Structure 1
Amino acid sequence: MASASDKHEKIRGRVRESFILFEHKEGSRLVDFKDVPTAIRSCGVNPTSVQLNLILDQLAALNAESEATGLVNMENFEIVVSNFLIQQEASLLRDDYHTLLRAFRAFDPEGRGFIEAETLRTLLSGRGEPMTEEELNRMMVVAGDEQGRVWYEDYAQRLANDGRTI
C-alpha cells in the first residue's frame, strides 16, 4: 500500500499536469483566473460551487499579495488545489453503485428499471445544486437512450466506475 506522502505527491503531480494544460502562454507558469475551475475539474474531481468558491477565494487572496494580473501562478495553484484535494478527499469520492442505485430507484416507484430523461432533467435542474442546461445536455448524451429513458442500473454502474479516483 502506498504511503500518505506517495499519495500526496501523486495528487500534486496531477494538479501540476492539470495546471500545465491551461497555461496562459506555454512555459509562463501562469493560468488565467477564469480557467481555474476547469483546470481543477481536469484533476478528475467535480467540486460543488461552494467548494470551488473556497478554492477561488484562497487563490484570489494569494494573488492579491503578489501581482493582481488576473493570472494565477503555478506555485499558488499547486499549493491551494493540492491541499484542498488532500483535505477534502472524502467529500470528493464518488458514491458506490449500490448507493446510486438506491437513489435512482426512489424515482422509479413502479420498478420499471428506467427513469424518463425529462424527469431526471427536471430534478437535476431544480434541486440541490442545480445543473446548467449545458451540463444536462452533456449528461443526457451518455445517460439517455433514443426513447428518452435513462436505464439507471447501467448508468449507476458507469457513474460509480468511470475511473475517476483521487
Structure 2
Amino acid sequence: MVDATKDVKKMEECIKKIQSAFSLADRDGKKTCDVKELGTVIRSLQFNPSEAQLHQIISECEEDSDLPKGFIGLEKFQAVMLPVMLDPGSHGMVRDTEETIYKAFKALDPENKGYIEADELRKALTSKGEMFSTEEINDLLTAATDMETGHIYYDDYAEILAEDE
C-alpha cells in the first residue's frame, strides 16, 4: 500500500512538472506549444534529448492530433513525457555526468588553461557529432561565457550542466 501511494505521489509530481514546463511555451493559454520550443520545454524538465529523440517525441505528440502541424497539445505531450519522467534511464535522455562533461571540455583545452574560448566551443559544436542550432549555441555561449574575460571556465560549467535540479 505504501508503494502504491508513493507511486501515485510521484506520478502527480511528474504531471505538475510537465504542466509547469509546458506552460512556459504556452504563450496564449490554449494548452498548445510550437514544436520549435519543445526542446527547451524538455530541457527545462532536466532531460537532454538528442535531435533524433526530439523528433521522435514530436512525431508521437503530433500523431492523431487535431492541432495544426507544428503545434503540440499539453494532453498529448503529457502522455508522451510521463513515462520518460517516471523512468528516464530507459529512454536514454539522462544528463551526462559532471566527469563526462568535464572530459569533453578538457579535450578542447590541450594547453590545460582551465578555460576555452567561445569561438573554439562554437566550432566544436558545429563541426562534429550532433549539430546544434545557431540559437542553441548562442544560448549556451551567453550562459557559459565569462563577461569580463570572454572565456568559458569549464570546471564550474560542467557542474552546472550535470545538475539534475
Same fold flag (TM > 0.5): yes
Does 1 or 2 have the higher relative contact order (CA < 8 Å, sep 6+)?
1
Partner of 1:122: 123
Structure 2 distance, partners of 1:11, 1:112, is: 41
Q: Which runs of 5+ in 1 are unaligned?
A: none
Structure 1 distance, partners of 2:156, 2:41, is: 29
1:26-58 Cα distance to aligned partner (Å, 9 max, x none): 3x4x31453661443443333221111111111
The Cα shift of 1:96 comes to: 2.4
Q: Amino acid of the residue matched to residue 119 of structure 1?
A: E
Partner of 2:76: 76
1:72-105 Cα distance to aligned partner (Å, 9 max, x none): 4433221112123334446222222222222222
1:103-131 Cα distance to aligned partner (Å, 9 max, x none): 22222222221222211110011211112
Distance 1:34 1:4, change over 3 A: same
Structure 2 distance, partners of 1:107, 1:21, is: 34
RMSD, aligned CA:
2.7
Partner of 2:52: 50
Partner of 1:16: 19
SS at match of 2:112: coil
Distance 1:152 1:60, change over 3 A: same
Sequence identity (%)? 30
Q: 2:125 matched to 1:144? A: no
Distance 1:109 1:32, change over 3 A: closer
Partner of 1:86: 86
Distance 1:83 1:106, change over 3 A: same
Q: Which runs of 5+ in 2 are unaligned?
A: none
SS at match of 1:98: helix
Checking the alignment, whether the CA contact within 8 Å between 1:62 and 1:76 is kept in structure 2 is no
Partner of 2:10: 7
Checking the alignment, whether the CA contact within 8 Å between 1:22 and 1:35 is kept in structure 2 is no
Checking the alignment, whether the CA contact within 8 Å between 1:113 and 1:152 is kept in structure 2 is yes
Structure 1 distance, partners of 2:27, 2:113, is: 49
The Cα shift of 1:14 comes to: 0.9
Distance 1:18 1:97, change over 3 A: closer
Partner of 2:161: 159
